[in-house]
Amino acid sequence: MRELDKYIIELPQKLSTNDIYKSSHWTKRKGHKDIYRQLVPFLRKVPKPKLPTHIHLNFYFRSYPLDCDNCSYMVKLFIDCLIEAEVIPNDCTKNVRAITITSQKKGKQDELEFYFK
């Protein structure tokens, strides 16, 4: 079995799904999406996975890691960036069979490690 290509990127902003429930105004969500769009140029260099794929997302926080379910908003923003970067055509079940999320305290900055399997 070959070693999986893994990528680690600095999180543009630490966002909790709970924050969306507190302030769900569309301008706030658009601002978050614009912040995450900074990842698109890097993501365009990531090889396209064989489809259907399983996306593994490991969130590393320098302090106070979010619960896995509270990472779901960042997952949504990140997956949308993968689509915009044309790494995956869309996130329908035909292309993305599963998404695994982990969250832990690790490192000196907030990061996301991702890979396809």
For residue 51, give the CATH number of its domain.
Answer: 3.30.1330.70
Structural domain includes residue 12: yes
Structural domain includes residue 2: no
Residue 26: the pLDDT is: 83
Structural domain includes residue 15: yes
Structural domain includes residue 1: no
Closest CA to 16 of 62, 66, 61: 66
User: How much is the average pLDDT of 2-15?
Assistant: 85
What's the whole-model pTM score?
A: 0.87
Q: What are phi and psi of 111, to 5 degrees?
A: -140, 160
Sign of the four-CA dihedral 109, 106, 54, 48: positive
Structural domain includes residue 55: yes
The range of the structural domain enclosing residue 19 comes to 7-116
Structural domain includes residue 62: yes
Structural domain includes residue 38: yes
Structural domains counted in the chain: 1
* 48-102 per-position pLDDT tens digit: 999 999 999 999 999 999 999 999 999 999 999 999 999 999 999 999 999 999 9
